[in-house]
Amino acid sequence: MAVEELYEKGFALRCDGRYDEAKDVFSQVLAASPGHADSKWQLGLIQCFVGEFDESLVTLQEVVTANPTHVKARYDLAQTQMMLGMMDEACANFREVLNQDPTHEEANRQIIYCP
């Protein structure tokens, strides 16, 4: 199965709440294509969904560091940071999301909580 097909399979599993299976598929994608940012982003989301918040922060930050224009990962990183009370970091990431995409609806809603 091609990398993108595997990614789509993992994404469907994640959307179905089949997180362990999705993690396995995304790990397969990353083994075949270590720079596949979307697979790593999805792993970070799953970590957050299952309560692995510290791991999620690390994974999402790795995606953003390696791919500074990955707006979706940066937004999810900011959301996770905000949820964990890391307001300065979250606000900086929301601002960068809006710098890259001024029409980002969710970031525009969240930025009102930033000083």
3-class DSSP string for the chain = CCHHHHHHHHHHHHHCCCHHHHHHHHHHHHHHCCCCHHHHHHHHHHHHHCCCHHHHHHHHHHHHHHCCCCHHHHHHHHHHHHHCCCHHHHHHHHHHHHHHCCCCHHHHHHHHHCC
What are the residues whose beta carbons fall under 8 Å from the beta carbon of 56, sequence distance 6 or more?
A: 44, 45, 47, 48, 80
Query: pLDDT of 6-35, one tens digit each?
Result: 999 999 999 999 999 999 999 999 999 999
pLDDT at residue 70 greater than cutoff 80: yes
Q: State the total domains in the chain.
A: 1
Task: Output the domain CATH number for residue 35.
Answer: 1.25.40.10
Going by pLDDT thresholds of 50, 70 and 90, the confidence category of residue 106 is very high
The residue segments making up the domain with residue 29 are 3-113
Judged against a pLDDT cut of 80, whether residue 1 lies above it is answered with no
Overall average pLDDT of the 44-68 stretch = 97
Please tell me what DSSP assigns to residue 113: G
